Chain A
Amino acid sequence: MPVLAIHRSRKLIPPFALLRPRTPREAAAMQADTAGAAFMAGGIDLVNRLKFGDAVARVIHLGAVEGLDGIDESAAGLTIGAGVTHDRLQTSPVIRARLPALAETWSTVGNIRVRLKGTLGGNLMAREPAYDFALAAMAAGAELRFATADGTERRIAAASLTDAAGRPEPQPGLLTAIALPPADRLRLGFDRSLRPALSVAVGLDVDGARVAGGRVAIGCAFVGPLARALPLDAPLAASALADAAGGIAHRLAAALPEPASDGHASAAYRRRMVEVLLRRELVVLASQLR
């Protein structure tokens, strides 16, 4: 987001055509049809961009699109609609029961207004480095599902939202759902204590008390959210994870591309803190697994 705006105002929001599709395919087709079209769910990012003078001629409002706001659990895992708000995620009995770390962390994301209006899909598709749902999705190893104009569904790994340096990868179509693996095989942990310099999410693939693998997602430190696989040589027991935490964190941090240096923190500090926060989070998760 721009950090200097001499002219920024709601008065600059141009007249736009309002489109209100009823199905995901219709929405995707509208996006494909026209240049200068933007999706709007909660509208937090869109309205902000419009006030900076972004030229958006058509707004595709998703309020009437069916099927975007479910939170469903099956044997295959948890499927969360892209239209689910942060608040519904945080208060959902399913999420609280199955992914308590996610529910608890999500009670402090943004503020209550943002949580009531903003959607997980909007948060993901903004690709803002400071937005944390991408971290949760990447750490969980989530699959993102997109409706396309021709009626098919496209699926990508959450990590594919950005490239290896954190830059956004184009993802046409309408994001409809975020699919998480089964909750009993997933442990999530978050450390947001150093925002706005750094935000870290960890997802472990667990089998009983053994950790088979995992992912780390890093926010606030690169151009966009960045995901990396947890560098485990082999599956390990929870007790071994605690002992190995330091080494794992060091390997991951050392292999990262150069983090950003800006007014919040230097690249060196960010890299160093990735290691500290990741090590700490692995120890916490390991103790929870025993």
Chain B
Amino acid sequence: MDGVDPAVLAAPVVALDGPDKVSGAARYTFDVALPGMLHAKVLRSPHAHARIAAIDVGRAAALPGVACVVTGADAATLPDPRYGVFLRDQPVLPWDKVRYVGDMVAAVAAVDEITAYRALELIDVRYEPLPAVMTIEAALAPGAPLLFDEPAAGNPVPVGANATSVKEPRANVLYEFTYRNGDADAVLAASDRVFEDRFAFSRINHFHLEPHVNLARVTGDQIEIWSCNQDPFVLRNDLARVFGRPGHCVRVHASYVGGGFGGKSYCKMEPLVVLLAMRAGRPVRLALTMDESLLTLTKHAGELILTTGVTADGRLTARKSEIRLDGGAYADASVMTALKTGYRITGPYRWQAVATRACAVRTNCVPAGSFRGFGGTQASFASESQIDMIARRLGLDPYEFRRINLLGPGEPFQPNDSAIDSDLVQGLDEVARRLGYHRRPPAAASTLARGMGLSIGIKDGGGTGNHAQALIKVMPSGRAIVHTATVEIGQGATTALSRIAAVTLGLPLDWVRYGAIDTDHTPLNNGTHVSCATTVTGAAIERAALDVRRQALDFAATQLGCAVEALTLDGWAVRRGNVTHPLEPMIAAHFGGAGFEFIGRGQMKVPFDAKAPLNAVNLFWIPNWVGTEVEVDRETGRVRVVRLVAGADAGRSINPAACRGQIEGATLQAYGQALFEELRYDGPLPANATPLAYRVPLASDLPERYESFTAEHAQGPGPFGAKGIGESGMLGVASAIANAIEDAVGVRLTALPFTPERVLAALDARQTSMMTR
């Protein structure tokens, strides 16, 4: 809808979910209870890799208060007992082997949690331990033990031109994506300089404060579940498939979600909860502890080897990339993550040629899956680190090196893909200006040395061939309920999507409510991820609102006996010339009874396109401009972030406060990962998988000065020129800090996190190499 007054969107709003959340009235899946519900607990594997030789649940099942016990034998009888995204290898419960410490082995439903815990202690499992592969290297070594003896179900995601997408190409490799444009080998051979660098990305957890929680009830042939899942319709499909039920016999309810970040995307333990409910004949609630959530899903760790060519005067020529992500024990969303990491590795730059291979490796670690940034984090860390390294090796200013190679607005990311829709140089300049980058003093030789670093992370946004549907119901009084299935996970969907509806309808925001999500009533949506809510769901809502406007005008024209063209909709009234006719009396007069609702429908679909590399043109681009000033203690290696500036482009902010919150929240998550946050392994055992041991950023960890900005380059495809930004802040911080460390003390860290010991080791090595010259 053109011509919306920018002041309307700029006006601050109180978030619609605010009153619930500040009063304690907000209900999450965690708070849902049903009469007679049972409580479930899960028995988990203490072994990283072992055959399940025998499970005896007799004593557990006989414990008073236990309603049922289920194992892999029960899961194996289900019509299709495996789940995963495109490739499905994760069993509802394993019947043959356990594949990571924490893998679900059996589950109990009982009258209360303590009884369920006691029952777990009575389950006898005889394991035959197998050798475990805890690293990518171990998993790929010749003769390495295999995690799976049979192929995964499903097919790899289809891709478009110049790309390949292959299922299980090699032992312990779940999936491989390749992309090539031009002849990278030839271009590299002809380049003035070629640099090969290797980067290691670490493993972190989502650490959403609300754990994974589900409550299932099975009544006859109806499966009903209250789930923390971010993707209600994907879940509905998965449950229908797993249990062999038609889709209209599965119903998913979503509530507020206490943090997702991708950790609650796609099928997790929902089928298990449904199975328990089925066997118990009563509703079953399974709430994981945070420790269990830590052992449910992580971000992909991995290795990225970038071979990049340049001309002598600093123009990038070609890049070859070898990417190996640690997918952990089960597929989850590793197919898409590998694909997206591979596609995004080129960054926001212009290339003559590109060749990329990205695979997801199977290891006996916690499964890795969807996590805010989704491959863009890994890719940006490697790419934006190497960009700085190359600039310095060439004796060029890292800012200038970026500037001359950046794609401009209107230039396609890759051939046959969409064009960059942000002014990347403008954002870089904004960061540099705020930081004082160009005026920074030269690095000092003192014990405490300061330096600055810049970074432009980037990923595609909106999904691949994504779509969404929307309904808006408007009552006689003009009050409206918006029905879409974008789940409120804290990203501000409730307010932003309601605001799109309100602005398009021309009605006050407090006349609009975001409807409860129930797959029986809410129109279909592909899921709350890939920063797509504003552009995809928002577009569907905009169209639904325009549909309401058309219907209202048609109705009024009929009532007033005039042409539609003679009327304009103004608030909840029509104007004909100088006369205003409120709609509510017109509706009451015509309909009587309980009144009438205008039901507007809208949908938005990005078409598939086999000419585009990913089989659909990307809807928009999410840059993240970051600048940071660090202080490095040369004697201890400790890095202190003195200033952090982070920016994103919202296209047009639907809710500026929410944009700021998303940028700052994501940036701090990535900041924690850069400096200290990590799920570590000690051999086959997770080394810090409790909330106390797993350190996340606290308010006391904030940089001395921390600021963000939300640019509005107004080139987005969404309503009013909007784009999504939820993932932006994840992308650039790690490389910006690495770049600042090199600026300060001349050493380069290529592995996360940048612990004091690693920094000191790099300083020692530099000292040694300088002394030996």
Contact = CB atoms under 8 A, between A and B. Distances in A.
Kindly name the residue among A7, A8, A111, A196 whose own CB sees the greatest number of chain B CB atoms within 10 A.
A7
Interface in A9-39: 9, 11-12
Contacts of B41: 7
Contacts of B638: 193-194
Given A12-B114, A262-B687, A4 B120 contact: no
B770 interface: no
A2 interface: yes
Contacts, number: 72
Contact of A197 (B682, B688, B756): B756
A8 B690 CA distance: 9
B636 interface: yes
A266 B690 contact: no
Contacts of B695: 196
Nearest to B640: A193
A5 B757 contact: no
B685 interface: yes
A1 interface: yes
Given A197-B757, A269-B760, A3 B687 contact: yes
A269 B757 contact: yes
A269 B636 CA distance: 9
A193 to B, nearest CB: 7
Interface in A259-290: 262-266, 269, 273, 276-277
Contact of B289 (A8, A48, A193, A266): A8
A267 to B, nearest CB: 11
B434 interface: no
Nearest to A15: B114
A266 B758 CA distance: 10
B757 A4 contact: no
Interface string B111-125: 011100100100000
A11 B693 contact: no
B114 A194 contact: no
Given A12-B114, A197-B756, A3 B689 contact: yes
A2 B117 contact: no
Contacts of A9: 113, 117, 289
B685 A4 contact: yes
A6 interface: yes
Contacts of A276: 635-636
B682 A263 contact: yes
Nearest to A14: B114
B680 interface: yes
B291 A6 contact: yes
Contacts of B698: 111
Contact of B117 (A1, A12, A262, A269): A12
A262 B700 CA distance: 24
B117 A6 contact: no
B693 A1 contact: yes
A8 B291 contact: yes
Nearest to B756: A194
A5 B680 contact: no
A122 to B, nearest CB: 16
Contacts of A48: 692
Contact of B636 (A1, A7, A264, A273): A273
A274 to B, nearest CB: 11
Contacts of A264: 755
A2 B46 CA distance: 14
A4 B44 contact: no
A158 B136 CA distance: 47
B102 interface: yes
Interface in B670-685: 678, 680, 682, 685
Contacts of B760: 269
B292 interface: yes
Interface in B646-702: 678, 680, 682, 685-690, 692-693, 695, 698, 700
Given A9-B113, A12-B114, A263 B687 contact: yes
Interface string B625-642: 000000000011010000
Given A5-B291, A12-B114, A194 B689 contact: no
Kindly name the residue among A9, A12, A197, A277 whose own CB sees the greatest number of chain B CB atoms within 10 A.
A9
B114 A5 contact: no
Given A9-B113, A9-B117, A4 B756 contact: no
Given A11-B113, A265-B757, A1 B692 contact: yes
Contacts of B756: 194, 197, 265, 269
A51 to B, nearest CB: 9
Interface in B717-761: 755-757, 760
B101 interface: yes
A3 B689 CA distance: 6
A74 B680 CA distance: 49
A3 B690 contact: yes
Nearest to B681: A263
Contact of B686 (A1, A4, A108): A4
A54 B126 CA distance: 25
B295 interface: yes
B635 A5 contact: no
A111 B689 CA distance: 21
Interface string A169-184: 0000000000000000
B682 A6 contact: no
A194 B693 contact: no
Kindly name the residue among A3, A8, A264 whose own CB sees the greatest number of chain B CB atoms within 10 A.
A3
A108 B698 CA distance: 13
Interface string A93-112: 00000000000000010010
Interface string B203-225: 00000000000000000000000
Interface string A191-217: 001101100000000000000000000
Interface in A31-81: 48
Interface string B86-112: 000000000000000110000000001
Contacts of A4: 101, 291, 685-687, 689-690
Given A5-B291, A5-B690, A194-B756, A11 B117 contact: yes
B46 to A, nearest CB: 7
Nearest to B685: A4
Kindly name the residue among B113, B114, B687, B690 whose own CB sees the greatest number of chain A CB atoms within 10 A.
B690
Contacts of A273: 636
Nearest to A270: B757
Contacts of B120: 7
B135 to A, nearest CB: 15
A280 to B, nearest CB: 8
Nearest to A269: B757
A128 to B, nearest CB: 11
B690 A6 contact: no
B292 A6 contact: yes
A113 to B, nearest CB: 12
Given A263-B680, A269-B757, A194 B685 contact: no
A24 B678 CA distance: 44
Nearest to B680: A263
A265 B758 CA distance: 9
Nearest to B287: A9
27 contacts: A1-B693, A2-B690, A3-B688, A3-B689, A3-B693, A4-B291, A4-B685, A4-B689, A6-B102, A6-B292, A7-B41, A7-B44, A9-B117, A9-B289, A12-B114, A12-B117, A108-B700, A111-B698, A193-B638, A194-B636, A194-B638, A194-B756, A196-B695, A197-B757, A262-B682, A265-B757, A276-B636
Interface of A: 1-9, 11-12, 48, 108, 111, 193-194, 196-197, 262-266, 269, 273, 276-277
Task: Please name the 9 residue pairs, one residue from A and one from B, whose CB atoms are nearest each other, closest first.
Answer: A11-B113, A263-B680, A3-B693, A269-B757, A6-B44, A263-B687, A4-B689, A3-B688, A11-B114
Given A4-B101, A4-B685, A11-B112, 18 more contacts: A3-B686, A4-B687, A4-B689, A4-B690, A6-B46, A6-B291, A6-B292, A7-B117, A108-B700, A194-B636, A194-B756, A196-B695, A197-B756, A262-B687, A263-B680, A263-B687, A265-B755, A269-B760
